[in-house]
Amino acid sequence: MIEILLNMQLIALVFLFLSLFLPLFFFSFSRFSNNKEAAPNKQTVTIPKSYPLIGSYFALKRVGNRIIQWESDILQISPANTFTFHRPLGHLQVFTANPANVEYILKTRFSNYQKGYIVISTLSDFLGTGIFNADGNTWKFQRQIASHEFNTKSLRKFVEQVVDAELSHHLIPIMASAAHQDQTLDFQDILQRFTFDNICKIAFGFDANYLTPSVERSKFAVAYEEATEIISRRFRQLFPLVWKVKRALNIGSEKRLRMAVREVHEFAKNIVREKKRELKEKESLESVDMLSRFLTSGHSDEDFVTDMVISFILAGKDTTSAALTWFFWLLSKNPRVEKEIVKEIMEKSEAPVYDEVKHMVYTHAALCESMRLYPPVPTDTKEAVEDDVLPDGTVVKKGMFVTYHVYAMGRSESIWGEDWAEFKPERWLEKLESGKWKFVAKDSFTYPVFQAGPRMCLGKDMAFMQMQSVVAGILRRFAVVPTVAEGVEPNFICFLSSQMEGGFPVKIIERETTN
């Protein structure tokens, strides 16, 4: 009965909004539409104007799917690399690419900048109270549990075995077949499927079989993909009330989301129950996936471990594939760098283990450089718990969103110098007297690709190990050649993580090697 009343209230609010605000909105839009001004490019970008009620909505509308680049361009011309954006209905959002502000948000005043109610409630249908959708003590408790497991050598070894098996038994054969048949692959899709299979094995000990071509794909994999896409689109709604009403009425995309989430959660809980049954029957469980680890450490609540593992799948499935997609794109444009990486790979054994992979210094630097230009998560938003003032003097009011812009920071001349646009792994390296390279890490508040402070990514080392293993396995045998026309630059877009708009079509070429 209460839910019915809430639904009726939501519907009443929608009709109130339609009757009061839309006439003014469409009147303003019709006037704006007559303006022949072209969408801004980097040479003409200006701080967006704000209007009553609608804020800077029209400026946002004009840039379309170039929103990340547009925000970055504005930050480059803004004092102290910070600006305040006016959203509809008087809401304000601070964007910053200032390292001092980033350190203040992520470390100095960590307790004042949280995920916040809006982000948590938007994602809760899918992620529940998992570690990446939690604040305060709930987050702290899960962080402590996960931190302990991520620091074990046995997990590192398990991840290494999973990646090696997926690479040698699935990814490499698919690429060899494509090379033999002169087939064009959407390499972004291939990498997304590959990392999804990897993270499912690491998290659940479950083979999603998403990469291997088959007649019937895992319902879990399909449902997970759909749930991720739909829930990420909630953040793109101009008025959140729209998706909330659709959810209340169980229609459209929200109905599909509910069905997909139910499929994911039922499947995950069945795996949890099966693991718990196995643990009861066996003194020791051979599997060392994360779910088994959480259960054996005494955390047996189904909802708790399900939410936690689903969050880790989300964190691991698209970020690594996004990083690799843009990495291979940059390599295709920089043959000098590719030659150096291939040379380093050929000096290692044919199936390099972790101890060898971690010493692939030039490859590691190239991956860092790629993520500087194309970060897997280009922005991260926090909500202010109370009024504050950032180090650059920007005033922040309670409840305001504050977004640090990783993409803009990677393209900042004040941080990276005049040659910031160059793909240059050497900026991460120092030449030793022996002639070998030494990797030199950057300050995490200048380069917050893996966040920084208390929420620093636990899976950072695991991600690098996986990416370096994939790069070594692929480039030892193949060259990845984009099929796009010369001079065409792919568009960088973002949902929950970055993507290459329209996919990444490539040809796979067998590499000629000499013994």
Instruction: Summarize the annotated binding site as residue ranges.
Output: 457
Amino acid at 443: D
d(C-alpha 465, C-alpha 159), whole Å:
9
* Nearest of 55, 56, 54 to residue 46 by alpha carbon: 56
Would you list which residues are annotated within the binding site for heme?
457
d(C-alpha 464, C-alpha 467), whole Å:
5
* DSSP per-residue codes, 457-478: -TTHHHHHHHHHHHHHHHHTTE
- 336, with CB counted inside 10 A (0-12, 13-18, 19+), is exposed
Encoding tokens for residue 433?
Answer: 């007297």
d(C-alpha 31, C-alpha 177), whole Å:
55
Asked whether the beta carbons of 203 and 312 are under 8 A apart, the reply is yes
Rg (CA), the chain: 24
* Nearest of 40, 54, 45, 48 to residue 83 by alpha carbon: 48
- 511, with CB counted inside 10 A (0-12, 13-18, 19+), is middle
Asked whether the beta carbons of 72 and 92 are under 8 A apart, the reply is no
Q: At what angle do helices 116-127 and 252-281 cross, to 10 degrees?
A: 70
* DSSP per-residue codes, 370-387: HHHHS-SS-EEEEEESS-
